[in-house]
Structure 1
Amino acid sequence: MARPDADSFAREWVAAWNDHDLDAVLSHYADGVVFHSPRIALVMGTDEDFLTGKAGLRKYWQAAMAGASDLYFELEDVLTGSDAITLLYTNHRGQNAAETFIFDEDGEICIAVATYG
């Protein structure tokens, strides 16, 4: 597994979200990514709490961004592991959030888990 530089990754990831640049956000993810979030069911109107594949992630985030024109993340901290990075941030709803990313051998996110306080 190849983990990118945590601080550089965090700055790029947050900047892409704050710019509402979905292509830039998705550039960090592997085609077969598995993404877990309790917000998937709410945004997509399903019972699913995870999705697989970059195409599904794009569809979910397009829907989420359409409903959040004020979307903005304020980075609070960056935590690192052997093959993972966790970003702690505050979102536009004032929620504390954490996303943990596990990277594949190409340095792309293969598993991501979003949690909210």
Structure 2
Amino acid sequence: MLPAQQFDPVVAAIDWLDACKSRDLDDVIDFYAEDATLECACCDTVIFTGRSELQAYWQPKLADPSPKLFELERVWDDPVETSLAYRSHDRKLIRVSFSFDEFGKIVRSRCTPIDCLAKSETPDVRPAQKLSPF
């Protein structure tokens, strides 16, 4: 178990996005717990469970050579989950939310195009944090 002061879910979410940018499937999958779930509502809602299904989901997405893919736009952090928004290959804004276990692994994630979110699902946050990866 990680002491609370050593694990920062915002840092973990940004590190996950950096692994996606590097297009390294093994690094991306290593962020997930063995029985993690990913609920993708980017087209139809589909749930992927376990690392093998997550690998099948991420492999074609990471193969996309688009230079602007996984460009960070926003980060939200609250006691329940950490979320970030990034640009997909077609420049759509995608929000992905994470829940982590006591070891700092992703146990649940959910992705949705921001234009598909209901107004009530978009939290009122302090001025949006636009972060650079550096």
Bin of the TM-score, shorter chain as denominator length: 0.7 to 0.9
Does the alignment pair 1:33 with 2:29? no
Amino acid at match of 1:63: P
Structure-2 residue corresponding to 1:73:
70
Does the alignment pair 1:12 with 2:9? no
TM-score (structure 1 length as normaliser): 0.80
Amino acid at match of 2:12: F
Name the count of aligned residue pairs: 110
Question: Runs of 5+ in structure 2 lacking a partner?
Answer: 116-134
Contact 2:13 2:84 in 1 (8 A): yes
- Asked which structure has the greater RCO (Cα within 8 Å, sep 6+), the reply is 1
Structure-2 residue corresponding to 1:53:
50
- Tell me: CA distance 1:5–1:78, structure 2 relative to 1, closer, same or farther (3 Å): same
Aligned residue among 94, 97, 114 for 1:97: 94
- Tell me: CA distance 1:15–1:75, structure 2 relative to 1, closer, same or farther (3 Å): same
Structure-1 residue corresponding to 2:60:
63
Moved over 6 A (4+): none
Deviation digits for residues 50-87 of structure 1 (CA, Å, limit 9, x no counterpart): 11101110012113334x23261111111112142101
Once residues 59 and 77 of structure 1 are traced to their aligned partners in structure 2, the CA distance between those partners, rounded to angstroms, is: 27
Structure-1 residue corresponding to 2:129:
none
From the CA coordinates, give the structure whose radius of gyration is larger.
2
Aligned residue among 67, 86, 100 for 2:83: 86
Identity %: 30
Helix, strand or coil for the counterpart of 1:100? strand
Contact 2:10 2:82 in 1 (8 A): no
Q: CA RMSD in A?
A: 2.4
Give the CA deviation at 1:5.
1.5
